[in-house]
């Protein structure tokens, strides 16, 4: 695999489409500075997925788009296309040629494509990861990359090795698994808390559920017994209703037959009434004739009496007139006048009696006629209304019963509606209360959410602070470790394999230690002081000459080698204190030493002067040849001797100064480490406090969620209960409206019937007419007529007598006068009297004859009247019998109607009972009546639902045979169930459902918990597997790279020694990689102790060790060899040639010798228009 071509369009300085075709081997890209060579490197990094604008030498990503020049406008997008030859199949894709392109638009948005198909950044990274070209892009070594490697920590160096070894994809897999594991851990913690809370709730709820489960069994028993008893009641009521309905048909036939018999009786009554009506005129006529005959007989008797009186007057008149005198006549006249007055009074009394008799007769006749009419009307009303009254009474009674039943129904429905409304109101009030609580909880939960978010943010900030503290502590600890290691290395440099070292470790008395350890040199002048001291810089300090002698004897005796000794307390030679040339200082002024050792050190330092550099040294020595000068770099000059150059190692004084300086840095670093540790503890405590606060906020939030969930369930139940109660109230209201409508219609009909019944009853107060009253009035009328006749006869008699007496007194008076006046007139009057007497006698005889005839007529009229009265009595008897029969038939119908009414009431009551039982079945059991009877009727066998101990049967129990229905046994069963239910006490009807739901949730969460534990185990296994794989791959890669580094380093540092060192060999997953390098002639191995050039070359050795041990298909090197001299460049080019055999190299260089090694050259230029141009040249041979 190798890079085949690179096409740039609008990328940085490549305004026009530019294609670079590459070949295997080494391709050199050359050109002047600023021409755009490094832009090619940036384009390669960018197209392979680089996301950091700083790594592309920009401030933001759209800086890669051609920004325009004075002559060309800016472009709207940048596009780079990389074509890779995949003939060897290194890339995991079924193409021999792979094209990767990336486009960035100035308006925003970025697109990737693989072989023309849209892809993701992750797809590109995954495609290139197995080739060693990861996100760190170690295959691209740009400008300044070596310095980054030099400054890199051991962990970053490990990253280079991992990328070269292809470990990064495993790292990504591990990171992904670790993120999932952390999420799983958090879910496990939440689930564990939730399961604990649910388990805590399950225990009391389980007890309630056990009671509810037992209550459910008892309630099932009670419901079953109640259902069967209610079904039996309903069946019995329906049978009774059917029997009543069957009896109704028989009663209807009886009433029809009774109506037929009543009609027949009414027909006979009508015939009797017709006969009575026909008999009444004959009776009246006979009575009128009798009355007339009686009146005529009375008149004849009066005429006969008057005629007899006149005859008597005529017979005695002669005697009276002959024997009487005028005085007698006057007396008789007086008596006549008195009799006349008496008669007049009698006539007046008779007139009054007649008037009264006439009035009584008219009244009696009127009363009789009215009684007769009323009697007939009453007879007809009795006949007409008896059946109607019974029927109306039955209808009124039926309507009354219906109204009473309707009123009871309305009351019951009203009570049911009121109870439903009360339940609905109660549920709604509870609903509103709970809704208020939920609102409060919601408001509180907002605060809880805010608290939890604040706690989470505080926790995140505390963790970030802790992470920053850990990072700072690690950095400080690494710094402490580095300084400690540096001190160790410097102290190792102090340990020499000579006599001084032997004496220092032999414990010889009087040996004070190395002289360098007693000196304090001004910073920067250590090399100069060491050069002046010469071998004394490596000497030991001893207390006195005796100690020095003892030390020399010890060296000789034990064959420990040679050592220099500086004796403390030597006599002071009084060094010169004169002036020194300008710009110089005495070397002894640069050193501080304990006073006992000062004379010896001053003697050793002599009169050497310190200057900055050789120029000043030559100037000082030229001015005064007697002076001896040392430069800051340790070069010694005098008029007769000079010494200088680079030494093979540092002097003890330099090392001691470096140790002192490093120890001060180490002390500062340790103090910083202590502060970092203390800050880390505080950050850890803050994290713990924030974690507790977050856990508490989360717990409160979970409790609020649980409370809101419970309240939501209660609100749901209350809403359902309210809706059910409202629906029940609406049904009851509709039923009440219907009942009221029926009741209003019945009341209207009842009012009309009552009016008709009251009218009928008011007329029936004389319902059974009494003929005695009529007969009494008839007799009274007859007696009144008789009395009137008698009064009339008496009046006529009185009138006749009065008329006969009228003027008699005057006549007697006149007669007496005339008697006195003329006797002659007496004879004439006697004659007239005789004639009147004769007439009266004739009249008397005629009256007697007429009286006999009238008497015969009266007897005949009496007989006729008696016959008419007998006929009338017979008619009355017939009509009374007919009316009695009608009354009896009416009573029979009335009795039948009353019986029908009672049966109707019983039927209505039975119907209402059936309806009430049906409604009761719906209200109590929620079942239609037919369904209840079909399922629980008395003809259905009863299954056994419980064991003998009262617990419910299960599927595992042997199912006993059903038993037949026994009402008494079912009543006992119902009572037992009610007692058992009462003994259970208060029951939470939702406990079983809540327990099942909570238990199901607990089981579900437990399963989820186990699944999460399995997932955690799987993720941990994946992480362990990835760690094992990473450890294996990294170990192999490290071993190979370490071996390669051991061979590459001597090639770049002939005679030198270098190796890679693990910072923590016991932890291959996290250990860093440090570099130990010891160039030839030097004893230090730490890179921090090397010079700048040496460190750069070590970095090159490290990179090329990666390239060789884990080769990638290609490498891009941007002016890597720019700072190397010819010798080192030759060594590097040799490695180039070796690396170019297996990998493609793209080298940006200014070195001609590098160009000579290239197989192809690309020249990059930029003219005044600011656009990069590319020229290619393939080299042959």
Residues contributing to the annotated binding site for ATP: 32-39
User: What's the distance, CA 904 to chain centroid?
Assistant: 56
Using the 8-state DSSP alphabet, how is residue 517 labeled? Answer: G
Spell out the residues 6+ positions from residue 725 whose beta carbon is closer than 8 angstroms to its own: 420, 421, 423, 424, 427
Read off the tokens for 1036: 């192999």
DSSP letter string, 62-81: GGGB----SSSPPPSEEEEE
Element (H, E) at 964: none
DSSP letter string, 205-260: HHHHHHHHHHHHHHHHHHHHHHHHHHHHHHHHHHHHHHHHHHHHHHHHHHHHHHHH
Measuring CA to CA, how many Å separate 147 from each of 150, 777, 826?
5, 157, 210
Q: Where are the beta strands (DSSP E) in 62-202?
A: 77-85, 97-105, 110-114, 117-119, 140-141
Contact 416, 922 (CB under 8 A): no
Read off the tokens for 372: 């007769």
SS3 state of residue 521: strand
Long-range contacts of 50-57 (CB under 8 A, 24+ apart): 50/137, 51/121, 55/137
Three-class secondary structure assignment of 445-481: HHHHHHHHHHHHHHHHHHHHHHHHHHHHHHHHHHHHH
Q: Which of 807, 811, 791 is nearest to 347 (CA)?
A: 791
SS3 state of residue 845: helix
- Note the maximum CA span of the chain: 253
Handedness of CA 970, 972, 978, 983 (dihedral sign): negative
* DSSP-H helix ranges across 1110-1172: 1126-1140, 1152-1157
List binding-site positions: 32-39
DSSP letter string, 861-903: HHHHHHHHHHHHHHHHHHHHHHHHHHHHHHHHHHHHHHHHHHH
The 117-119 sheet, strands edge to edge: 18-21, 2-9, 77-85, 97-105, 110-114, 117-119
Read off the tokens for 761: 């009853």
DSSP letter string, 427-444: HHHHHHHHHHHHHHHHHH
Strand partners, 65: 11
Strand partners, 647: none
Q: Which of 485, 482, 466 is nearest to 676 (CA)?
A: 466
SS3 state of residue 1059: strand
Read off the tokens for 545: 């000459």
Spell out the residues 6+ positions from residue 347 whose beta carbon is closer than 8 angstroms to its own: 795, 798, 799, 802
Read off the tokens for 541: 């300090």
User: What's the distance, CA 429 to chain centroid?
Assistant: 19
Within a 10 A sphere around the Cβ of 935, how many other Cβ atoms?
12
Measuring CA to CA, how many Å separate 24 from each of 3, 38, 475, 1140, 1175?
8, 20, 43, 8, 18
């Amino acid at each position: 695999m190798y890079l085949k071509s690179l096409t740039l369009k609008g990328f940085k300085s490549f305004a026009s489409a530019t294609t670079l075709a590459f070949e295997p081997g080494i391709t050199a890209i050359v050109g002047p500075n600023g021409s755009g060579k490094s832009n090619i490197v940036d384009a390669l990094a960018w197209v392979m997925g680089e996301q950091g604008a700083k790594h592309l030498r920009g401030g933001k990503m759209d800086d890669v788009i051609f920004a325009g020049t004075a002559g060309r406008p800016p472009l709207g997008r940048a596009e780079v296309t990389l074509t890779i030859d995949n003939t060897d199949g290194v890339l995991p894709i079924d193409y021999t040629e792979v094209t990767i392109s990336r486009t960035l638009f100035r308006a925003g948005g970025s697109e990737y494509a693989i072989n023309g198909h849209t892809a993701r950044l992750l797809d590109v990274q995954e495609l290139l990861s197995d080739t060693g070209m990861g996100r760190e892009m170690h295959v691209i070594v740009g400008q300044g990359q070596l310095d980054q490697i030099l400054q890199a920590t051991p962990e970053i160096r490990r990253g280079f090795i991992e990328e070269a070894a292809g470990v990064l994809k495993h790292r990504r897999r591990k990171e992904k698994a670790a993120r999932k594991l952390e999420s799983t851990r958090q879910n496990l913690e939440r689930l564990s808390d939730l399961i604990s809370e649910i388990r805590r709730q399950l225990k009391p709820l389980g007890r309630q559920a056990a009671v509810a489960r037992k209550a459910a069994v008892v309630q099932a028993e009670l419901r079953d017994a109640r259902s069967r008893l209610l079904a039996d009641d309903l069946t019995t009521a329906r049978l009774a209703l059917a029997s009543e309905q069957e009896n109704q048909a028989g009663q209807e036939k009886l009433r029809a037959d009774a109506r037929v018999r009543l009609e027949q009786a009414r027909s006979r009554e009508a015939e009797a009434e017709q006969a009575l009506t026909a008999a009444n005129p004959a009776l009246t006529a006979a009575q009128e004739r009798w009355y007339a005959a009686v009146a005529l007989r009375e008149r004849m008797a009066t005429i006969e009496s008057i005629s007899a009186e006149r005859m008597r007057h005529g017979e005695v008149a002669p005697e009276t007139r002959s024997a009487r005198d005028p005085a007698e006549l006057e007396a008789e006249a007086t008596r006549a006048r008195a009799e006349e007055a008496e008669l007049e009074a009698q006539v007046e009394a008779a007139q009054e009696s007649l008037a009264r008799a006439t009035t009584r007769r008219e009244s009696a006749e009127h009363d009789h006629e009215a009684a007769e009419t009323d009697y007939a009307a009453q007879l007809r009303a009795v006949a007409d209304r008896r059946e109607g009254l019974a029927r109306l009474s039955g209808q009124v009674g039926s309507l009354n019963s219906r109204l009473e039943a309707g009123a009871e129904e309305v009351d019951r429905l009203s009570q049911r509606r009121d109870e439903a409304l009360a339940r609905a109101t109660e549920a709604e009030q509870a609903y509103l209360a709970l809704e208020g609580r939920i609102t409060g909880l919601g408001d509180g939960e907002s605060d809880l959410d805010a608290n939890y978010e604040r706690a989470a943010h505080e926790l995140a900030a505390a963790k970030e602070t802790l992470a920053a503290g850990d990072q700072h502590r690690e950095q400080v600890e690494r710094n402490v470790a580095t300084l400690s290691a540096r001190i160790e290395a410097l102290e190792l440099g102090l340990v020499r394999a000579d006599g001084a070292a032997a004496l220092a470790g032999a414990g010889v008395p009087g040996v004070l230690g190395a002289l360098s350890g007693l000196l304090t040199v001004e910073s920067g002048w250590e090399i100069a002081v060491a050069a002046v001291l010469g071998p004394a810089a490596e000497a030991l300090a001893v207390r006195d000459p005796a100690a020095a002698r003892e030390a020399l004897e010890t060296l000789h005796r034990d064959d420990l080698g040679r050592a220099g000794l500086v004796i403390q307390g030597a006599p002071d030679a009084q060094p010169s204190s004169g002036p020194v040339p300008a710009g110089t200082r005495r070397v002894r002024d640069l050193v501080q030493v304990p006073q006992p050792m000062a004379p010896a050190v001053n003697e050793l330092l002599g009169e050497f002067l310190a200057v900055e550099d050789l120029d000043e040294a030559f100037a000082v020595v030229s001015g005064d040849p007697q002076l001896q000068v040392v430069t800051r770099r340790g070069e010694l000059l005098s008029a007769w001797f000079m010494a200088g150059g680079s030494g093979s190692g540092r002097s003890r004084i330099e090392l001691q100064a470096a140790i002192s300086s490093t120890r001060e840095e180490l002390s500062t670093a340790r103090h910083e480490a202590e502060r970092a540790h203390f800050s880390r503890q505080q950050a850890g405590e803050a994290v713990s406090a924030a974690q507790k606060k977050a856990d508490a906020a989360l717990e409160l939030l979970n409790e609020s969620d649980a409370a809101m969930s419970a309240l939501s369930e209660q609100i749901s139940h209350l809403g359902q209960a309210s809706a059910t109660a409202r629906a029940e109230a609406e049904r009851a209201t509709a039923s009440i409206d219907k009942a009221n409508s029926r009741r209003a219609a019945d009341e209207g009909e009842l009012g009309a019937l009552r009016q008709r019944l009251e009218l009928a009853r008011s007329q029936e107060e004389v319902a059974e007419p009494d003929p005695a009253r009529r007969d009494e009035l008839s007799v009274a009328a007859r007696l009144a007529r008789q009395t009137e006749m008698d009064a009339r006869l008496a009046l006529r008699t009185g009138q006749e007598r009065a008329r006969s007496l009228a003027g008699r007194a005057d006549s007697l008076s006149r007669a007496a006068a005339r008697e006195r006046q003329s006797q002659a007139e007496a004879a004439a009057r006697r004659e007239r009297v005789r004639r009147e007497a004769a007439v009266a006698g004739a009249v008397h005889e005629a009256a007697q004859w007429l009286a006999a005839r009238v008497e015969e007529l009266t007897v005949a009229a009496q007989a006729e009247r008696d016959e008419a009265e007998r006929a009338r009595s017979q008619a009355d008897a017939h009509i009374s019998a007919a009316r009695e029969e009608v009354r009896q038939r009416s009573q029979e119908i009335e009795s039948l109607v009353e019986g029908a009414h009672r049966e109707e009431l019983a039927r209505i009551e039975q119907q209402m009972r059936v309806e009430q039982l049906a409604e009761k079945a719906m209200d109590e059991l929620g079942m239609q009546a037919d369904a209840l009877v079909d399922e629980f009727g008395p003809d259905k066998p009863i299954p056994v639902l419980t064991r003998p101990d009262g617990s419910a049967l299960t599927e595992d129990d042997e199912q006993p045979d059903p038993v037949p229905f026994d009402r008494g046994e079912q009543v006992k069963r119902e009572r037992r169930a009610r007692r058992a239910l009462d003994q259970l006490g208060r029951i939470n009807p939702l406990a079983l459902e809540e327990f099942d739901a909570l238990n199901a949730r607990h089981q579900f969460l437990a399963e989820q918990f186990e699944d999460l534990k399995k997932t955690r185990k799987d993720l941990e296994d994946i992480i362990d597997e990835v760690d094992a794989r990473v450890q294996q791959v990294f170990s192999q890669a490290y071993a190979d790279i370490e071996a390669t580094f051991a061979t590459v380093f001597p090639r770049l540092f002939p005679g030198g020694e270098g190796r890679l060192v693990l910072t923590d060999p016991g932890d291959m997953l996290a250990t860093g990689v440090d570099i130990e390098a010891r160039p030839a002639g030097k004893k230090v191995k730490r890179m921090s102790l090397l010079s700048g050039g040496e460190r750069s070359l070590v970095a090159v050795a490290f990179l090329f060790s990666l390239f060789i041990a884990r080769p990638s298909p290609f490498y891009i090197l941007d002016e890597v060899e720019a700072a190397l001299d010819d010798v080192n460049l030759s060594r590097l080019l040799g490695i180039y040639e070796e690396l170019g055999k297996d990998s493609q190299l793209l080298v940006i260089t200014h070195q001609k010798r590098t160009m000579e090694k290239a197989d192809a050259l690309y020249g990059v230029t930029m003219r005044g228009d600011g656009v990069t141009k590319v020229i290619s040249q393939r080299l042959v041979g």
